[in-house]
Structure 1
Amino acid sequence: MKISSDGIKFLNDVDVVPNNIYVHHTKIEERLPIHVHTKHQLSYVEGGVAFLNTPTNSYFLPARHFVWVPAGMQHNVELRSPVVMVRNLYFPSDLFPKNHKLRKMGIYPVTNLVMEMIMYTEQWKGGFNEKDIEVYEFLLALRNVLMAVSRVPLPVVLPTTKNESLLLVLRYIHENIEAPLKLNDLAKRFGMSSRSLSRLFRQHIDTSFLQYVKLTRVIKSMEMLLETNMSISEIAYACGYSNVAAFSNVFMQMAKRRPADFRKENIKISH
């Protein structure tokens, strides 16, 4: 993947000064390759649909949530629709206790206070440390708030793989999510036994065929809940459910809230 000189400079600048807290906001998020930082990263996407990709998983980023990427984790952020702004903050890893949950990857709701503090950083760009007293103290205060309010991460993760045979199956599932998807039918379509296909899922993404389909349908429904005016029932049918109750129950199981509540809590700022 070709990256602009600005993209390369930004990736390098984040880690140049180890004790800097680095601030980077952009209206156009360049599609960066999978990369890694020595600092923890907070990314908040205003509007639109985004995913955090790692070599093994894809994490859906709903509106009004931020993603926390721990230092040393390979990742990139993929935007699936136009966005208003991508806000990134990078914190030196030693600013967080070794046993704190923000030492691990997570997607967390953005409280009103966190939202206001992130927005306030819009006036800054680049790295800041103890010499920049006012800015640095504010960013440390934001760190303290994040540590206090980041309690329960969003539990929706879509595993991925580099296995070419399984990738074809996964792509078919994504492109036909509204259709009945059965293990036997897909195994036959891709020229293998049901047992072999089931084994591929277990070996390469450590989940079952049924669980993967459920996750894909819930994530697709999350996109529709945030990006369309479709009714809950229309979204249920578009994601392969024959009735709203079944859809709502699976959504509740995966996202720990009902579809209507998820839409209400995460309605885009621009609406």
Structure 2
Amino acid sequence: MTNTYVNKYYMTEVDVKPESIYCHHAVMGEEFIETHEHVKGQFLYTEGGMVFLKTDEKSYFLPARHYIWIPAGVKHSIHPSSPEVIMRNLYFPKFDTDNSFFNHVGIYPVNDLLMELIMYTNRWNGHILPEDQINFTVAKSFKLLLPELSHSNLSLSLPYPKSTKLRDIVNYLEEHISESVSFKDLANRFHFSERTLARLFQKDLGMSFIQYYTILRMLAALKFLLDEKMSVQQVASKVGYSSLPTFSNTFFKIVGVRPSEYVKNKQSII
């Protein structure tokens, strides 16, 4: 896949026909896809590896057996774990039936019914126009079903710190992900009072230290589970958890499945 093709497809082709539903299944073919936006909303499901998606405000992690909804007009770049990752994209115009679900970026688990629908769309490529009544109706129904099939918007995203000091702290946490860093030690290391540092996290990132740190560790765990041939116990240790049950419970709360089940799902679709 050439850069010319990537630019043409992502910058122009999707929105050439405003009334169409645009379908695109392809191997990624690139190390990353530069920042762009669409007039249409985007459904993105990937196979064969993990994908990071970055907007102006957050960094999202799209793991196996999940999809991400990207509203119209949201600028984003896509960073796959390898060029061999397969993308399954559907781009939808706005419909009168749309509700608030489609106004926000969200990452959701893919259940068996949605997986069957995704595989059904594999027969399509390019623009599906209203004149093609059968395929257009089926594709439109796909969008209409998303809010009904997607109840758990997973917290697989982290905001970017605006404060330089907080960026240094976050970088430290990332570099020491295998350690269990206490809030008190972190505050002392960077010469903050605990109260001041707590306020900085809340004001800058809109979440508490523990919320940010927990998600950061779970995102790292997802990466290790996908990239490395590690046991769940090894991954737990790699992200600073000495207790496997605690790690498993935390993973379940953030990702929606147990780490052992996630590994099984990943192996069945990668």
Q: TM-score, normalised by structure 2?
A: 0.85
Residues 91 and 164 (structure 1 numbering): CA distance in 2 closer, same or farther, change over 3 Å?
same
8 Å contact from structure 1 (residues 177, 239) kept in 2: yes
Measure the CA separation in 2 of the matches of 1:52 and 1:268. Answer: 23
Measure the CA separation in 1 of the matches of 2:187 and 2:45. Answer: 39
Measure the CA separation in 2 of the matches of 1:69 and 1:121. Answer: 18
What letter corresponds to residue 99 of structure 2 in structure 1?
K
SS of the counterpart of 2:91?
strand
RMSD of aligned Cα (Å): 2.6
Superposed CA deviations along residues 110-146 of structure 1, whole A, max 9, x for unmatched, are: 2334323323433433222123344323322423443
Match of 2:48 in 1: 47
Q: For 1:146-165, list aligned pairs within 5 A.
A: 146-165=146-165
How far did residue 192 of structure 1 move?
Answer: 4.8
Match of 1:88 in 2: 89
How far did residue 240 of structure 1 move?
Answer: 0.4
Measure the CA separation in 2 of the matches of 1:117 and 1:95. Answer: 22
Superposed CA deviations along residues 194-219 of structure 1, whole A, max 9, x for unmatched, are: 44443332221112222211111112
Q: For 1:45-84, list aligned pairs within 5 A.
A: 45-84=46-85
Q: Identity, % of aligned pairs? A: 37
What letter corresponds to residue 6 of structure 2 in structure 1?
G
Q: TM-score, normalised by structure 1?
A: 0.85
8 Å contact from structure 1 (residues 226, 268) kept in 2: no
8 Å contact from structure 1 (residues 226, 267) kept in 2: no
Range 43-52 or range 79-88, more displaced? 79-88
Residues 245 and 111 (structure 1 numbering): CA distance in 2 closer, same or farther, change over 3 Å?
closer
How far did residue 266 of structure 1 move?
Answer: 4.2
Measure the CA separation in 2 of the matches of 1:43 and 1:149. Answer: 15
What letter corresponds to residue 250 of structure 1 in structure 2?
T
Residues 197 and 33 (structure 1 numbering): CA distance in 2 closer, same or farther, change over 3 Å?
farther
- Unmatched tracts of structure 2, length 5 or more: none
Residues 1:6 and 2:5 are matched in the alignment = yes
8 Å contact from structure 1 (residues 63, 268) kept in 2: no
8 Å contact from structure 2 (residues 29, 83) kept in 1: no
How far did residue 193 of structure 1 move?
Answer: 4.8
Residues 1:185 and 2:214 are matched in the alignment = no
